[in-house]
A and B are shown apart, each in its own frame.
Chain A
Amino acid sequence: MANYKDLIASQQGRKGGIIEAFHAIQSEYNYIPQDALREAAKAFGMSEAKAYGVATFYSYLSVEKRGRYIIRMCESAPCHVAGADAVIKAIQNYLGIGIGETTSDGKFTLELTECIGQCQATPVITINSEPVFNVNPEQIPAILSAYK
């Protein structure tokens, strides 16, 4: 796993690039550890409080530890009318966790998201940002068991 200091340094040339640095950290850690946040704040000349304000403003950034695979269920109107609620329930039942929670083995985190722009094939979920199209509740066990 890449050191967060290197990840931050790789983005330091970008003016105002703290969000890019957060993305780089998350691509390795799936969340922004507190030490990394502190380091990023320093690198971009920002107070830690300000950097925390940025990290917690955006729904794709997280300062809480998350699982290896982040499942996001779209619940915007096109997915809603296509049956998103039933898919959410199926995921919750299969994993035994609620929204915003992580399975005890640290594998999956379940989040809700707004439209992800794949409305040609609703309802849609993403797993680590990879979209899975036309999901129905019966398919959930097969889809999720493929992630080791």
Chain B
Amino acid sequence: MEEQRILLEYADQIDPESAADYIKVGGYKGLEKARAMEKKALIDEVKKSGLRGRGGAGFNAGMKWSFVPQDAPVKYVVCNLDEGEPGTYKDRIICEKNAQALLEGMAICGTAIGSEQGYIYCRGEYPTVVKLLRNAIASAKEAGALGEFNIEVRMGAGAYVCGEETALIESIEGHRGEPRFKPPFPGVAGLWAAPTVVNNVETFACLPYIMVKGAEWFAGIGAPKYPGTKVLTLTGDINNPTYFEVPTDYILRDVITKLGGGVKNGKKLKAVQVGGTSGAFIPEQNLDTQIDFDSMGAIGAALGSGAVLVLDETRDIVDTVARITRFFEHESCGKCNPCREGTFRMREMLEKVNEGKGTEKDLENILRLAKVMRKASLCGLGQAAPIPVESTIRHFKYEYMRKLV
């Protein structure tokens, strides 16, 4: 099975900054079509395509848009380009290869919800992408491709939690990036308390193609419940550590053996972590699973951002997970107790076990804390932080046991 490139079809063949280049390969036809439609029909078309959020939560995009009250005087379209999930760089690739599709997608969303102002929140680690996008917006404006729709790029400053949509909104407003209590959801009261749609780069970039080729075409690609393609980034002990765009019914084992060229240095595979650092570790026996949202969920994992980290047979799972717990301790914003204290204690206990000083009681406490964090944390950060820990205790318990006192 091969890659299927929709978003990345013209990668390296067009200048991502140039609206003219993009128009030459059919760009901005989708926006034209969207503008000729009634708002409700446009939202229904997106709903019908089955497009679900590509940032990790997998929410139906058209459904999200339908929550925006049509009569509000000011509304915003916000693009989440804060991909901080370790091992993920697909949004950077989409911008570097096809930035105009993102801009067109945002304008399509603007048309659907009746918004004239968009923001792209780009992570601070990508200053070159910020520059690229600002040039791309200028090019699109000059070509008249965006019409009345304006887009401003804002740069983050190194905070993983700002990938959470309400923390991201706080950051655009110039505040500490701490998540808000929900409800109200951003669709009702988001940026500066106005109704706001926040979608991921990849979600927006799918829209021009859905508009041009139709909702049914898109709904027919990949897995029926999570249709379309997904851009994956392959890292770790793999022969071919790069990015791929595949239909969502692609099998995880094929990602590693066919696209990835197999495990590096002829070694055997121990585990795969899908969805970035907050994802579950998947053992070898579960690899024959489709990558789509629901299939991954069924094996206790998550597609998340589409990062795929491969670990070979020599890797120390406990050491890797201990490192991951340090990540969450560092990135916890401190607003809610279960996450602030939980990530701290989790790191403390994991390091104890990793140093050979842990007991079975520690493993029990780790699992108990994991449960509390999952249920009581305010946002996805604290809720997902224990997943790598729990999934490795489930699938690789012997690795923990051999390190106990």
Contacts and interface: CB of A to CB of B under 8 A. Distances in A.
Nearest to B124: A60
A109 to B, nearest CB: 14
Contact of A77 (B86, B192, B333): B86
B120 to A, nearest CB: 13
Contacts of B327: 76-77, 114
A115 B155 CA distance: 16
A99 interface: no
A22 B159 CA distance: 15
Contacts of B306: none
Interface residues of A, number: 37
Contacts of A126: 125
Interface string B50-86: 0000000000000000000000000000000001111
User: Which among B87, B125, B309, B330 has the greatest number of chain A C-beta atoms within 10 A?
Assistant: B125
A117 B176 contact: no
B172 A59 contact: no
B155 A78 contact: no
Contacts of B171: 19
A115 B331 CA distance: 11
Interface of B: 83-89, 92, 123-127, 152, 154-160, 171-177, 192, 233, 235-237, 241-243, 273, 277, 307, 309, 311, 315, 320, 323-324, 326-327, 330-331, 333
Given A61-B158, A81-B309, A122-B241, 18 more contacts: A14-B152, A14-B154, A17-B154, A20-B154, A44-B174, A53-B176, A58-B124, A59-B158, A60-B125, A77-B277, A77-B324, A81-B236, A81-B237, A114-B84, A114-B160, A115-B277, A117-B126, A119-B307
Interface of A: 14-20, 22-23, 44, 46, 53-54, 57-61, 75-78, 80-82, 113-122, 126, 129
